[in-house]
Amino acid sequence: MTRTLRYTLLSLRDLLVSAGPFVLLAIALLAAAFWWLDPTPPKRVVLATGPAQSAYDEFGKRYATLLAANGIEVVLLPSEGSSANLQLLREGKADVGFVQGGSHDATSAGDDEGLQSLGSLFVEPVWMFYREDALGKVTRHPNEAVSATGQPARAAGKPLPPLTSMTELTGLKVNVGTPGSGVPKLMARLLEANRVDATSIQLSQLAQTPATVAFLNGEIDVIVFASAPEALMVQMLLQTPGVRLLDFAQSEAYSRRFPFLTPVVLPRGVVDLAGDVPPQDVRLLASTTSILTRDTTHPALLQLFSQAAITLHGGAGWFNRKGDFPSGVLTELPLSKEAERILRNGPPLLQRYLPFWLANLIERMWLVLGIIVAVLLPLSRIVPPLYAFRIRSRVFRWYGKLREIESRASLATSAPAELIAELEALETRVSHVTVPLSYADELYALRNHIQLVRLRLIKA
């Protein structure tokens, strides 16, 4: 090893030893900040969706795909629907879930204290499909002409008019979906508002798939479910011959009576322009579906879900224009701060250029890092003097021995020859002392002082 390299290594060793306490303190503060802030999100999150082949199920798969790109596994938890998802969130069995407007019960408002909204995603119309051959069973308005059998009189060559009111459901077999879907609760409120006795309707609560099969087989007259138009069942029934969609002629009035409902219009031909499906505008009622989360869900995950919501729901749809969703306005629960920030400003700046894990780490640690630097900066001024002291102490420690020899010479307590021998031993030891070149002047000064004392002893 060359002398220059040895000096460099010694200098580095002394620097590390001098800065050691400072470095250990910085590491301890960083570890404490990391533990306290918990900047790294869990790699697994549970999303409550809905029945198979529903819009919730389809959107859940899309969210899982988007978050997988950032290393997050989204576990899809199937359920009966909106009400079941709300209950799963309350019980802590799901971290995030799709919940339809109106699913919250005023009597259980206290159960929602730990829940937040990431924004409304889309309108979810109430699809009330009925079979054309069930129109003969319908009890029409009293002013409508009836036949001798009590059924509505059919004008020659003209089909019966479509349904436009829930009062015309009397006597029909109606499936309102499973209790967990939230539709039975909604239908009960709508029937009550129309003063329709539920016992006058043959209600059933089959799941969506078996209910659709029974409906197509003629075992059910009306099938009701709330879903986004992307649902496969909706797409299929809208284009099934012999199946019609109830036109809510009083949709505006419903929205005034029920704040969580909004009137929407299914435009003519939007399903199939060439086939002109539907053949005319259809007025519908719709609730707004939001994505809810628990307040214990990691903030970084909320950011990812909010960004995915913009990607999946930000475009134009059958009932909205581009940019209408996701929205922080039509929410029944407080909007998460993370979601509000994403909806207002878009993805954080660092996440646009850096990998998610790195951008998230910097974003969540930068404030604490600034505080740590502010604390450690004054303390760091101790390091240079401490380093200088360690280097100079290698030289100064021999001055004590040199002074002792000089004192003994002045008091004549030892023979000059003995003292000269001690000086030579001291000089030999000092010759093996190594210091950085910047402190070499002090080492050479010590050698000169040893020589000075030797000359005095020789003269004596």
Q: Is residue 360 part of a domain?
A: no
User: Do 260 and 335 fall within a single domain?
Assistant: yes
- Residues found in the chain: 460
Instruction: Report if residue 362 sits inside a domain.
Output: no
Task: Using pLDDT thresholds of 50, 70 and 90, give the confidence band for residue 34.
Answer: low
- Which residue, among 188, 147, 195, has the nearest Cα to 167 in the 3D structure? 195
Residue 306 lies in a domain: yes
Same domain for 422 and 285: no
- b/e 103-126 (16+ beta carbons within 10 angstroms → b): bbeeeeeeebeebbbbbbbbbbbb
Q: Do 315 and 408 belong together in one domain?
A: no
pLDDT (0 to 100) of residue 355: 86
Q: Give, to the nearest 10 degrees, the angle between helix 3-37 and helix 356-379.
A: 110
pLDDT at position 39: 63
> Residues 13, 51: one domain?
no
Angle between helices 383-411 and 3-37 in degrees, nearest 10: 130
Which amino acid would we find at residue 92?
A: G
User: Does 4 have pLDDT greater than 70?
Assistant: no
Q: Which two tokens stand for residue 270?
A: 């939007």
Name the residue among 89, 100, 62 with its Cα closest to residue 305.
Answer: 62
Establish how many alpha carbons lie within 13 A of residue 167's alpha carbon, considering only the half-sphere containing its beta carbon. 8
Last residue of a domain, one of 347, 366, 391: 347
Residues 343 and 394 in one domain: no
Nearest alpha carbon to residue 215 among 276, 132, 279: 132
Query: Within this chain, do residues 185 and 292 fall inside the same structural domain, yes or no?
Result: yes
> Do 55 and 190 share a domain, yes or no?
yes
Domain membership flag for residue 361: no
Same domain? 55 vs 100: yes
Would you say residue 96 lies in a domain? yes
Give the three-state DSSP class for 130: strand
The CATH number of residue 195's host domain is 3.40.190.290
DSSP 192-230: HHTT--GGGSEEE---HHHHHHHHHTTS-SEEEEE--TT
Tell me whether residue 404 is in a domain: yes
**Integer Cα distance of 224 and 199 in angstroms:** 17
Residues 404 and 327 in one domain: no
pTM of this prediction?
0.65
Cα three-residue angle 120-125-130, rounded to 5 degrees = 165
Eight-state DSSP code of residue 149? T
Q: Which domain holds residue 269?
A: 44-140+161-347
Q: Which of 290, 324, 347 is where one domain is finished?
A: 347
Is the domain of 82 the same as that of 124? yes
Percentage above 90 pLDDT, the chain: 37
pLDDT class of 19 with cuts at 50, 70, 90: confident
Give DSSP secondary structure letters for 343-395. Answer: HHH-S-TGGGTS-HHHHHHHHHHHHHHHHHHHHHHHHGGGHHHHHHHHHHHHH
For residues 331 and 417, membership in a common domain is answered with: no
What the block records as the tokens of 118 is: 């990431």
**Maximum alpha-carbon separation in the chain:** 151
Mean pLDDT in residue range 312-318: 89
Is residue 113 in some structural domain?
A: yes
Sign (positive/negative) of CA torsion 269, 132, 53, 284? positive
Residue 148 domain-assigned (yes or no): no
User: Which SS3 state, helix, strand or coil, does residue 327 take?
Assistant: strand
Token pair 């060559």 is found at: 157
Task: Read off the pLDDT of each residue in 378-389 and give the average, rounded to a whole number.
Answer: 77
Alpha-carbon distances, residue 93 vs 21, 68, 85, 89, 317 (angstroms): 46, 21, 9, 6, 32
Query: Which of 135-144, 294-303, 371-380 is the least confident region?
Result: 135-144
313 and 414 assigned to the same domain: no
- Sorted by sequence, the CB contacts under 8 Å of residue 146 that are 6+ apart come out as 140, 152, 153
Q: How many domains does the chain have?
A: 2
| Of the residues 302, 325, 347, the one at which a domain ends | 347
Q: What is the pLDDT of residues 352-379, one digit of tens each?
A: 888 887 887 777 767 666 777 777 777 7
